[in-house]
Amino acid sequence: MAHGGWQTKQEPITKVNVTPIIDVALVLVIILLVTAPMLSVADLPVNLPQAKTREAEDERNVSVTLAQDGALAVDNDRVAPEALTQVLMQHLAQPGNHDALVVVRADSQVPYGRLRQVLDQARAAGAARLAIATKQKTDGQP
């Protein structure tokens, strides 16, 4: 008998502590939620033109990026200019995308004629709804 009759018996810990697992899982979910919107846009460098309103970017859409050097991308995938119509047709044919908004992200230095060609190709691919992405213009800036 140890210490005045008190006998302490250590029981082995048999339960799993799930708190650290839940903490890590929640952090991963938060990281996923923050990075998911960035994954649907190609990494072509584009300087968007400015406009007073920009409303169409939050709904379900297909992003077409037109860089200053003429490079094209649909969502994450780079596309040859002559294949744009076919690739857009495939994207719009996917379930749930038949009425998707096609957002064209064109560099502000791209000639208007080239932007019009991209819009015509999107229309030919069956895009019923088109939008041009812009940066939000503040009143103090030109």
**Can you give the residue range of the structural domain that contains 110?**
41-136
Q: What is the C-alpha end-to-end distance of the chain, expressed in Å?
A: 87
96, part of any domain: yes
47 and 109 in contact (C-beta within 8 Å)? yes
Where residue 72 sits, what CATH number does that domain have? 3.30.420.270
Question: Rounded to 5 degrees, what are φ and ψ at 51?
Answer: -150, 160
State yes or no: pLDDT of 110 exceeds 70: yes
- Total count of domains within the chain: 1
Mean pLDDT in residue range 89-95:
82
1, part of any domain: no
26, part of any domain: no
52, part of any domain: yes
34, part of any domain: no
16, part of any domain: no
Question: Pick the residue with more confidence: 109 or 48?
Answer: 109
- What band does 3 get if pLDDT is binned at 50, 70 and 90? low
121, part of any domain: yes
- pLDDT score for 58: 45
Percentage of residues of the chain with pLDDT beyond 70: 75
Estimate to the nearest angstrom the gap between the alpha carbon of 77 and the chain centroid: 12
- pLDDT score for 56: 46
63, part of any domain: yes
State yes or no: pLDDT of 137 exceeds 50: yes
Give tens-digit pLDDT for 51-90.
665 554 445 678 888 888 888 888 878 888 888 888 888 8
> What is the pTM assigned to this prediction?
0.56
SS3 assignment for 97-119: CCCCEEEEEECCCCCHHHHHHHH
Mean pLDDT in residue range 30-48:
74
